[in-house]
Chains A and B, each alone.
Chain A
């Protein structure tokens, strides 16, 4: 019998970003990403671009992409709600192949969630026609590669919902 450790470790995410030649992580931290922040700061191949508000991330990513780089954004689902006009104008309208790593605040497999941030995020993404993948453990991390391939093939944003807290 195979036993799975139900934890998502930041190194698994970093490895996926490096495997897909990501150059920049444009981000605003959420409550679950401090371990990720420490690792990103130590990773020379990834340039961290901190922002003050989540809607900035798609615009900065658009500039990086036009300039020949390959960014991702890393924000919480609450930040997606704030970012609507950026996703429209600088994601969908310009066909930016952007992978958005989205902290899935409130997500649970154990019954209904009281957190509206979790209840609304997938319907909102689907309304925009943005496909998304869920990652909860290290075993799921390769879905980032699937998202990167899909973003390039379809020339549009793709979401990756991070459904668990990062482990140490």
Chain B
């Protein structure tokens, strides 16, 4: 399996001018994208509205067709909004890259198992939904070798990553909070994109 921080660090290292939409463990303050990002002004984290990260990324991808959009999703999150895979594939933006961090648990609530975590076929679901290309990695070496091919493929691309669970049991009110809030990110990203909304 792939360490969560190693995965976000590798994706970030290949981002160039991409917008990244991380959620759940991929957005963890201590070991997710906020801990390694090299261009925070183009990070649009989503910590509320669970399950909607890929929808948010789809909207950006449609609005900014000349720029890659990378969604860093969670398995529990995506299961809350599985139809979003079809929604994304149906609009078929070629600049849309959907990474699934599959750790098989609800890591931020104490590690309870995801329903059906031992029998899910995420690659199969992505192909059936209509993604143009589907990749899967269960170790960092292969992911490191393969990521250039992933990002060279025309989207919508789905990338399944087998991630080591990093479980949090600390009550929410005692966890470190992001200094850059979701609202701040929504205010900053349009400026980084050079658009007037936001």
- Chain A interfacial positions (CB closer than 8 Å to B): 24, 26, 47, 49-53, 55-56, 58-71, 85-86, 88-90, 93-95
Contacts and interface: CB of A to CB of B under 8 A. Distances in A.
Q: Top 10 nearest A-B pairs by Cβ distance? A: A63-B59, A67-B63, A52-B83, A68-B195, A89-B48, A89-B49, A59-B55, A59-B52, A63-B60, A64-B59
Contacts of B62: 24, 47, 49, 60, 63-64, 67, 69
Given A55-B51, A56-B84, A60-B59, 19 more contacts: A24-B62, A52-B84, A52-B86, A52-B87, A53-B81, A56-B52, A63-B60, A65-B63, A68-B64, A69-B59, A69-B62, A71-B59, A85-B50, A88-B49, A89-B182, A90-B46, A93-B182, A94-B182, A95-B186
A63 B56 contact: yes
Interface string B165-198: 0000000000000000011001001100101111
Interface of B: 44, 46, 48-52, 55-64, 81, 83-84, 86-87, 90-91, 182-183, 186, 189-190, 193, 195-198
Contacts, number: 119
A46 to B, nearest CB: 13
B74 to A, nearest CB: 15
A69 B190 CA distance: 11
Contacts of A24: 62
A109 to B, nearest CB: 35
B183 A59 contact: no
